[in-house]
Structure 1
Amino acid sequence: MMQLLIHADPARKQALIAKGIPETVQVQWFEAGSTLPEADVFFDLQFEDAGRSVFGSLSTKPVLVSAVIASRDALQDNMIRINAWNGFLERPLVEIGAIPSMIDTAKTLMEQLGWQYQLAPDTPGMISARVIAMIINEAYFGLGDGISSKEEIDTAMKLGTNYPYGPFEWSEKIGLHKIHALLEALSKKNARYSIAPLLQEAAAAKKS
């Protein structure tokens, strides 16, 4: 029986439970500062929040980290990126990324968990988070131009695209600071990701 050790906040813990874990997989929940028990695979879904992994001392066993913004060169070789932002774990498809030597391990793990997966490129935002960040940024540009209110933009986007959330709802669910950090990383290489002034202001206000 495969043993998983998972470090997650309450929201992502619930998302994982709702997603479903097969009976053939034994799950332990880990609290930072606790003694590290034995396991086959480790999940650190608070990696981005803490800025480092509680499983950083491990080098030979696979560690899945919620590293949507950080690219591979910022991670240990045994770490597999997973998009575990709030609102994304609940989706049928999981986005993962790994160095070539870890791809087969990542695929095997997803298959053992019975999860559909998509290998994502080694770039900030992976796939869907990058798209959502662009939509949120554009919504803030529209808000700044006086096109409509937040509520009306959210409603129009949900009805027009069949997305579960509008752009401002997404930003609240994910965390505006994460959207800002992702856009900041992307804008260093491509000016089309330049952050909307109102988004800059809103992110700064939440930080203060």
Structure 2
Amino acid sequence: MNVLQKTMVIGAGQMGCGIAQTLIQSGGEVTLYDIKHAAVNRGMSLIEESLKRLVDKEKLTKEQREQFLAKLTPTISLKNAESVDLVIEAAPEQMEIKKSLFKKLDRICKADTILATNTSSLSITDIASATSRPGLVIGMHFMNPVPVMPLVEIISGLATTEETRVKVKKLTQALGKTPVEAKDFPGFIANRILMPMINEAIYAIYEGVAEPEAIDQIMKLGMNHPMGPLALADFIGLDTCLAIMETLQQGFGDSKYRPCPLLRQYVQAGWLGRKSGRGFYLYS
């Protein structure tokens, strides 16, 4: 399997679109799936606009943009996974949704198709248990924004075969990314370290230690972070941050992973960050 073969990306949100764009820019044929026409059309528009910005910056020619877009096919039918060599799932971060998708894909896909999940914290082993091919299930956790960020966290489940692991590492390198491997523990590496830091920053607001601007400024100027933890939380989505903290708390049974009540309150209010126009900051 190499990047030039056929891939289906499940989920036409920010992550799925970024993954699909990266694949077509590396020469792959990609089918972009979502459950509704409106969602998949919105995703196609996001990719078209992203590639247009690259043309405007003279990083791509118009001809290259058209060639890439010709390799991208939108669909609302999972049956189009019949002929693909790889599926990369980027659906919402909920175990029931992912296991349901993997169960369906297991029936539809060829016997040797690799099923990868872009989960940022959920158990690969648990997701794989919904299939009859756990050896072909693996985690490919891309970073956001996908076309820009060089890292892909690779996570093998309990049954993931060595052959699958090696193929996916090679694919990741063919995409111009750096694969870094982690064991199948809640949050893996990236979010096991990042999310408690974000959660602690939220506790600092909750306890009246400082305002969001001050917290972010200290982390940027004092720790040389390119973005403060609260601005980053808004960028990721506060609902996603909460879901990951809950996964960490449930997975480890340790109170140090308890989500800050303020984080939970913001999510309940629909203040999810950039995507809703309001989180720890206001967005126009």
Output the TM-score relative to the length of structure 1.
Answer: 0.83
The runs of 4+ residues in structure 1 deviating greater than 6 Å are none
Q: 1:64 aligns with which of 116, 120, 141?
A: 116
Q: 1:91 aligns with which of 132, 140, 149?
A: 149
The answer as to whether partners of 1:12 and 1:89 remain within 8 angstroms in 2 is: no
Which structure 2 residue ranges, 5 or more long, are not aligned? 36-75, 129-133, 273-284
Within 5 Å, give how 1:24-173 maps onto structure 2.
25-32=28-35, 33-34=76-77, 35-37=79-81, 38-48=83-93, 51-52=97-98, 54-59=101-106, 60=111, 61-76=113-128, 77=134, 78-84=136-142, 86-87=144-145, 90-99=148-157, 100-113=159-172, 114=174, 115-173=177-235
SS in structure 1 opposite 2:187? coil
Deviations 1:157-176 (A, max 9, x none): 12233333211112112221
Q: 1:160 to 1:87 in 2, by over 3 A?
A: farther
Q: Give how far 1:134 is off.
A: 0.7
Output the TM-score relative to the length of structure 2.
Answer: 0.63
Which structure 1 residue ranges, 5 or more long, are not aligned? none
Deviates more, 1:25-34 or 1:114-123: 25-34
The answer as to whether partners of 2:143 and 2:152 remain within 8 angstroms in 1 is: no
The answer as to whether partners of 1:19 and 1:90 remain within 8 angstroms in 2 is: no
Find the counterpart in structure 1 of residue 65 from structure 2: none
Q: Give how far 1:132 is off.
A: 1.5
Alpha-carbon distance in structure 2 between the residues aligned to 1:19 and 1:139: 35
SS in structure 2 opposite 1:83? strand
- In percent, how many aligned pairs have the same letter? 24
SS in structure 2 opposite 1:51? helix
Q: Give how far 1:103 is off.
A: 4.2
Q: Give how far 1:31 is off.
A: 3.5
Within 5 Å, give how 1:168-183 maps onto structure 2.
168-183=230-245
Find the counterpart in structure 2 of residue 3 from structure 1: 6
Deviations 1:126-176 (A, max 9, x none): 111121111111101111222211122122212233333211112112221
SS in structure 2 opposite 1:95? strand
Q: 2:26 aligns with which of 3, 22, 25?
A: 22
The answer as to whether partners of 2:140 and 2:153 remain within 8 angstroms in 1 is: yes
Deviates more, 1:106-115 or 1:74-83: 106-115
Q: Give how far 1:28 is off.
A: 2.7
Q: 1:134 to 1:88 in 2, by over 3 A?
A: farther
The answer as to whether partners of 1:4 and 1:28 remain within 8 angstroms in 2 is: yes
The answer as to whether partners of 2:154 and 2:169 remain within 8 angstroms in 1 is: no
How many equivalent pairs are there?
207
Larger helix proportion of the pair: 2
Residue type of the alignment partner of 2:267: A
The answer as to whether partners of 2:249 and 2:255 remain within 8 angstroms in 1 is: yes
Alpha-carbon distance in structure 1 between the residues aligned to 2:220 and 2:198: 13
Q: 1:102 to 1:183 in 2, by over 3 A?
A: same
Find the counterpart in structure 2 of residue 198 from structure 1: 262
Q: 1:207 to 1:74 in 2, by over 3 A?
A: farther
